[in-house]
C-alpha cells in the first residue's frame, strides 16, 4: 500500500516545506516531488503535515492510591489518537495495585492490560519502589531490554513512592552508565511537611497551592540538577509549574543533559479555578498557580523541551468522593490527553506556521529523543515509522475535550479550531475527519520488547 500526502505544508526538521510525503510499508518512504503513483492520495491542501505526536507523560490503566484511573489503555489511546497522539507514554509503578510485586510483574500486568486494546503505540516509563539485590538485577536487565526511562518521586511518602536523595544518587551512579534516563517529580517533601497548617482552612481547594508551595519545586529542582550534573546522567524534570524553576532549568540546560516539560494546566489554568465552589475538581500536583503570563512567556520562548499532559483523570464520582474537610483526600490529578495539541498550539497560535513547527519539535522530535526512540519516531524522515498528522488549523470551532471517560472536563469553555483531517499510525489511516476508523481493531503496539 502506497499512500501519498500532497499539497500540505510539511514540517521537516527546522522548516516547513511544500513537499509530498510517501508512506509505504508502515514507514515514511520518501519526501519530495514526483514520488510516482500511489494506491491512495490524500489532499492536504490548507493543512500542515506533522509527525505524529507523543504524549510523554500520562497515567492510564492503573490505580493511584485509593482510586482506579478513569482512562484505561483503550479510552486513553482513543482520545489521544483522535487528537494526533500516535505514541502514548505511561507508567509502570511497582506495587501500584496494592500488593507486593516485582517491577517485572508490574510491567507484565501493564502489558496484559494494554495488549490488543491500544489505538496508538505505547511506551512505558518504569517506577521501581523496592531496592533489594534482585530488584537491581531486574532493573538492569529491563534497561538492557529497552526500558530506559525511569521515573522517581521526591514526594508521596505515604503512597510508598518517595525516593530520598541518597537513593537517587545511588540510582544515578549505578544505572546512568547502563543507559538509563531519569525522570523526576520535583517537590520537596520536607518543605511541604513544614508548612504551617494551624490556621489553614483545609476544606478550601485554593489552599492546595499553599500546601505545595513554589519553593518546594524550586528547592528540589536545584538539588536534582546538581546531583545529575555531579553524576553525569540525563535528567528530565516532569511537570514544571513555577517561573523560578523554569528559569533555573533554562540556565542549567546549557551545561548538562537536562530537559523538562510543562503541561497545559500550568500554562492555561490558575488558582481562580480552585476558588470555585467545585474547585476540588482542579486539584493536581504540583498545584495550579497564579502568575501564568510570565510562565507562558518562558514556554513560548522555548524553555521547555516538551509539552506533555500528565493526564491523570479520575471518574466524577471518585473526584467528588472526599470528606469535604481536607482537600488532601481528593483524588489528585487532571485529564488532558485530548487537549494537548490544542492548548500547545494556542501558545503560538498567533503565528500558525510557527505553531506547527513548535508542535513538531515539542510534541514529537524532543519527546522521541528523550524516550530514546529517535530511530523510529518523532520526525518526518525516510525510514521512520509513518506516524503522520494532517492538521487543519481552520476547522470549525469546537469545545476541547480532555477525556472520553466519565470525568469532569479540565478545560470547560476552552475551544479550538484545530481539525485532525487524517492521522496515520505506521502508515495506516486510523483517524479521518476526527473519527476513529478501526475502533474494533486497535492497531497500536507496545514499542518496547516483552518483559
Ligand atoms: Zn504524572
- Per-residue pLDDT of 347-357, as tens digits, reads 999 999 999 99
> pLDDT-derived band of residue 250, with 50, 70 and 90 as boundaries?
very high
* Residue 48 CA, ligand 1 centroid: distance in Å: 30
Cα–Cα distance for residue pair 367/389, rounded to 1 Å? 16
* Residue 57 CA, ligand 1 centroid: distance in Å: 6
* Residue 277 CA, ligand 1 centroid: distance in Å: 25
* Residue 168 CA, ligand 1 centroid: distance in Å: 18
Is 368 a residue whose pLDDT tops 90?
Answer: yes
Composition of the chain by helix, strand, coil, percent to 5: 35, 25, 45
What mean pLDDT is predicted for residues 170-199?
96
Is 431 a residue whose pLDDT tops 80?
Answer: yes
* Residue 308 CA, ligand 1 centroid: distance in Å: 10
> pLDDT-derived band of residue 133, with 50, 70 and 90 as boundaries?
very high
CA-angle at 130, arms to 124 and 134, nearest 5°: 90
Cα pseudo-dihedral 268, 270, 272, 277, rounded to 10:
80
Cα–Cα distance for residue pair 381/358, rounded to 1 Å? 17
Model pLDDT, residue 14: 87
* Residue 58 CA, ligand 1 centroid: distance in Å: 6
Model pLDDT, residue 440: 94
* Residue 203 CA, ligand 1 centroid: distance in Å: 24
Q: Give the bridge partners for 395, in sequence order.
A: none
Least confident of 10-19, 154-163, 185-194: 154-163
* Residue 238 CA, ligand 1 centroid: distance in Å: 8
Share of residues in the chain with pLDDT > 70 (%): 100
Contacts of 146 (CB under 8 A, 6+ apart): 372, 447, 448, 449
Is 386 a residue whose pLDDT tops 80?
Answer: yes
Model pLDDT, residue 360: 98
* Residue 385 CA, ligand 1 centroid: distance in Å: 27
* Residue 59 CA, ligand 1 centroid: distance in Å: 6
For the four alpha carbons of 362, 366, 370 and 375, in that order, the dihedral sign comes to: positive
What mean pLDDT is predicted for residues 406-426?
98
Do the beta carbons of residue 56 and residue 67 sit within 8 Å?
A: no
Helices (H) and strands (E) in the chain, counts: 14, 23
- Per-residue pLDDT of 20-36, as tens digits, reads 999 999 999 999 999 99
* Residue 260 CA, ligand 1 centroid: distance in Å: 13
Cα–Cα distance for residue pair 52/120, rounded to 1 Å? 10
The rounded radius of gyration (Å) of the Cα atoms in the chain is 21
* Residue 450 CA, ligand 1 centroid: distance in Å: 24
Model pLDDT, residue 13: 87
Model pLDDT, residue 160: 84
Q: Give the bridge partners for 422, in sequence order.
A: 390, 432
Cα–Cα distance for residue pair 49/10, rounded to 1 Å? 5
* Residue 437 CA, ligand 1 centroid: distance in Å: 29
- Per-residue pLDDT of 255-306, as tens digits, reads 999 999 999 999 999 999 999 999 999 999 999 999 999 999 999 999 999 9
For the four alpha carbons of 147, 375, 308 and 338, in that order, the dihedral sign comes to: negative
**pTM > 0.85:** yes
Is 72 a residue whose pLDDT tops 80?
Answer: yes
* Residue 357 CA, ligand 1 centroid: distance in Å: 26
Model pLDDT, residue 66: 87
Q: For residue 389, give the 3-state DSSP assignment.
A: strand
All 3 cell numbers of residue 326? 481536607
What mean pLDDT is predicted for residues 437-445?
95
Q: What H or E segment, with its residue span, contains residue 225?
A: helix 214-231
* Residue 204 CA, ligand 1 centroid: distance in Å: 23
Q: How many residues does the chain have?
A: 451
* Residue 63 CA, ligand 1 centroid: distance in Å: 12
> pLDDT-derived band of residue 141, with 50, 70 and 90 as boundaries?
very high
What mean pLDDT is predicted for residues 34-60?
97
* Residue 229 CA, ligand 1 centroid: distance in Å: 24
* Residue 309 CA, ligand 1 centroid: distance in Å: 8
Cα–Cα distance for residue pair 184/200, rounded to 1 Å? 29
* Residue 30 CA, ligand 1 centroid: distance in Å: 37
Task: Name which of 153, 201, 173, 151 is nearest 324 in CA terms.
Answer: 201
What mean pLDDT is predicted for residues 84-93?
98
Contacts of 416 (CB under 8 A, 6+ apart): 342, 345, 346, 397, 398, 400
Phi and psi, residue 428, nearest 5°: -90, 135
- Per-residue pLDDT of 92-111, as tens digits, reads 999 998 889 999 999 999 99
The overall average pLDDT reported for the chain is 97
Q: Which residues of 285-304 are buried (b: 16+ CB within 10 A; e: fewer)?
A: bbbbbeebeebbebbeeebb
What mean pLDDT is predicted for residues 138-143?
96
* Residue 286 CA, ligand 1 centroid: distance in Å: 10
* Residue 158 CA, ligand 1 centroid: distance in Å: 17
Residue 109's Cβ-count burial label (10 Å; 0-12, 13-18, 19+) is middle
Cα–Cα distance for residue pair 380/261, rounded to 1 Å? 22
Is 10 a residue whose pLDDT tops 90?
Answer: yes
What mean pLDDT is predicted for residues 155-182?
93
Is 161 a residue whose pLDDT tops 80?
Answer: yes
* Residue 430 CA, ligand 1 centroid: distance in Å: 27
Q: For residue 166, give the 3-state DSSP assignment.
A: helix
Model pLDDT, residue 157: 84
* Residue 418 CA, ligand 1 centroid: distance in Å: 26
* Residue 412 CA, ligand 1 centroid: distance in Å: 22
What mean pLDDT is predicted for residues 123-129?
97
Q: How far is CA 171 from CA 143, 183, 304, 444, in A?
A: 12, 12, 25, 32
> pLDDT-derived band of residue 8, with 50, 70 and 90 as boundaries?
very high
* Residue 174 CA, ligand 1 centroid: distance in Å: 24
> pLDDT-derived band of residue 126, with 50, 70 and 90 as boundaries?
very high
* Residue 237 CA, ligand 1 centroid: distance in Å: 11
Do the beta carbons of residue 377 and residue 426 sit within 8 Å?
A: no
Q: What H or E segment, with its residue span, contains residue 435?
A: strand 435-436
Model pLDDT, residue 39: 97
> pLDDT-derived band of residue 333, with 50, 70 and 90 as boundaries?
very high
* Residue 310 CA, ligand 1 centroid: distance in Å: 5
Is 242 a residue whose pLDDT tops 80?
Answer: yes
Cα–Cα distance for residue pair 199/58, rounded to 1 Å? 35
Model pLDDT, residue 288: 98
Amino acid at each position: 500500500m502506497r499512500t501519498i500526502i500532497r499539497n500540505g505544508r510539511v514540517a521537516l526538521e527546522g522548516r516547513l516545506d511544500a513537499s509530498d510525503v510517501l508512506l509505504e510499508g508502515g514507514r515514511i518512504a520518501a519526501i519530495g516531488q514526483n514520488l510516482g503513483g500511489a494506491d491512495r492520495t490524500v489532499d492536504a491542501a490548507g493543512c500542515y503535515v506533522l509527525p505524529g505526536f507523543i504524549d510523554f507523560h500520562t497515567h492510564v490503566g492503573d490505580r493511584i492510591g485509593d482510586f482506579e484511573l478513569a482512562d484505561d489503555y483503550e479510552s486513553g489511546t482513543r482520545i489521544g489518537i483522535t487528537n494526533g497522539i500516535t505514541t502514548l507514554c505511561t507508567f509502570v509503578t511497582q506495587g501500584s495495585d496494592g500488593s507486593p510485586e516485582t517491577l517485572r510483574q508490574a510491567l507484565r500486568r501493564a502489558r496484559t492490560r494494554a495488549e490488543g486494546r491500544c489505538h496508538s503505540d505505547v511506551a512505558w516509563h518504569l517506577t521501581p519502589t523496592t531496592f533489594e539485590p534482585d530488584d537491581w538485577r531486574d532493573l538492569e536487565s529491563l534497561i538492557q531490554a529497552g526500558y530506559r526511562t525511569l521515573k522517581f518521586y521526591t514526594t508521596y511518602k505515604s503512597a510508598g513512592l518517595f525516593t530520598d536523595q541518597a537513593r537517587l544518587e545511588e540510582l544515578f551512579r549505578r544505572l546512568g552508565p547502563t543507559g538509563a534516563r531519569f525522570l523526576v517529580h520535583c517537590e520537596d517533601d520536607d518543605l511541604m511537611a513544614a508548612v504551617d497548617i494551624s490556621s489553614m482552612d483545609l476544606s478550601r481547594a485554593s489552599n492546595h497551592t499553599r500546601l505545595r508551595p513554589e519553593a518546594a519545586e524550586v528547592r528540589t529542582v536545584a538539588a536534582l540538577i546538581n546531583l545529575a550534573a555531579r553524576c553525569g546522567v540525563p535528567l528530565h524534570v516532569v511537570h514544571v509549574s513555577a517561573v523560578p524553576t523554569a528559569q533555573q532549568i533554562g540556565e542549567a540546560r546549557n551545561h548538562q543533559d537536562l530537559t523538562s516539560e510543562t503541561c497545559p494546566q500550568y500554562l492555561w489554568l490558575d488558582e481562580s479555578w480552585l476558588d470555585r465552589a467545585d474547585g476540588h475538581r482542579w486539584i493536581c500536583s504540583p498545584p495550579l498557580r497564579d502568575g501564568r503570563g510570565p510562565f507562558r512567556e518562558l514556554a513560548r520562548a522555548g524553555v521547555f523541551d516538551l509539552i506533555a499532559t500528565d493526564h491523570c483523570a479520575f471518574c466524577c464520582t471518585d473526584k467528588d468522593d472526599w470528606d469535604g474537610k481536607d482537600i488532601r483526600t481528593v483524588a489528585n490529578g487532571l485529564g488532558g490527553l485530548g487537549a494537548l495539541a490544542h492548548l500547545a498550539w494556542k501558545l503560538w497560535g498567533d503565528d500558525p506556521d510557527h505553531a506547527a513547527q513548535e508542535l513538531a519539535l515539542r510534541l514529537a522530535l524532543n519527546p522521541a529523543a528523550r524516550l530514546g526512540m529517535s530511530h523510529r519516531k518523532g520526525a518526518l524522515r525516510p525510514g521512520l515509522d509513518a506516524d503522520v498528522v494532517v492538521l487543519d488549523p481552520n476547522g470549525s470551532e469546537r469545545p476541547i475535550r480532555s477525556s472520553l471517560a466519565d470525568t469532569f472536563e479540565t478545560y470547560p469553555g476552552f475551544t479550538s479550531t484545530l481539525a485532525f483531517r487524517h492521522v496515520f499510525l505506521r502508515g495506516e489511516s486510523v483517524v479521518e475527519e476526527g473519527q476513529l476508523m478501526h475502533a474494533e481493531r486497535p492497531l497500536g503496539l507496545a514499542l518496547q520488547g516483552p518483559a
